[in-house]
Amino acid sequence: MLSRLLPLQAASALQLAALHSACFSPGWGEKDFQGLLKELHYGGFLLEGRVSQKIGLIDWYQIGDTGEIYSLCVLPPYRKRGLGRQLLSALLETAPKQGIHTLFLEVAEENTAARRLYETSGFYEVGRRSRYYPSAHEHGTTAIVLSQHFCENEQGDM
């Protein structure tokens, strides 16, 4: 499948909301993305498939030298094709160039595909948040907090 990465832009808020809502329940709305896109330290990529269809998203927020991945999602019909890895790889290449030394994220304990992607990309567990995500059962779903640290080379560059 041919695909290309596009930086997030304010004009993309409606597309971002539709994509996020197709992948998460509850998804974020257009106003959520409009607010985030005004933030100086918010960034991300849209993955565009054939005929300009937006099929994936990764977004993050940076505070100082720390970044937090907010979302990584690929529309269900396009999953298991390496597109999530493509999005994550783009961030892992971009983060050190933006001065990010450490990345964090939360992933649902039962989301084994996402956990495998993150773990094979160098993330490791640093904590857990009980009942973090809403779920069908009353107790909620545990979030696993993962992190990755980028090592500095001898010149102090990332």
Give the model confidence (pLDDT) of 78-122 as tens digits.
Answer: 999 999 999 999 999 999 999 999 999 999 998 999 999 999 999
Residue 93: inside a domain, yes or no? yes
Does 156 fall in a domain?
Answer: no
Helix (H) or strand (E) holding 126: strand 124-133
- What is the length of the chain? 158
- How many domains are there within the chain? 1
How confident is the model at residue 53, as a pLDDT? 86
| Cα 120 from Cα 138, distance rounded (Å) | 32
Domain, as residue range, for 108: 4-149
Residue 155 belongs to some domain of the structure:
no
- Assigned domain for 17 exists: yes
Among 98, 75, 78, 77, CA closest to 22: 75
Residue 127 confidence (pLDDT) = 94
Q: Rounded to two decimals, what is the model's pTM?
A: 0.88
Residue 145 in domain? yes
Question: What stretches in the chain show pLDDT beneath 50?
Answer: 153-156, 158
Tell whether 101 is covered by a domain: yes
**Tell me, what's the pLDDT at 2?**
64
pLDDT computed for residue 68 by the predictor: 97
- 75 inside domain: yes
* Any domain includes 121: yes
pLDDT for res 87: 97
Identify the CATH number of the domain in which residue 102 sits.
3.40.630.30
Q: ∠ at Cα 147 (141, 149), nearest 5°?
A: 175
DSSP-assigned beta bridge partners for residue 7: 45
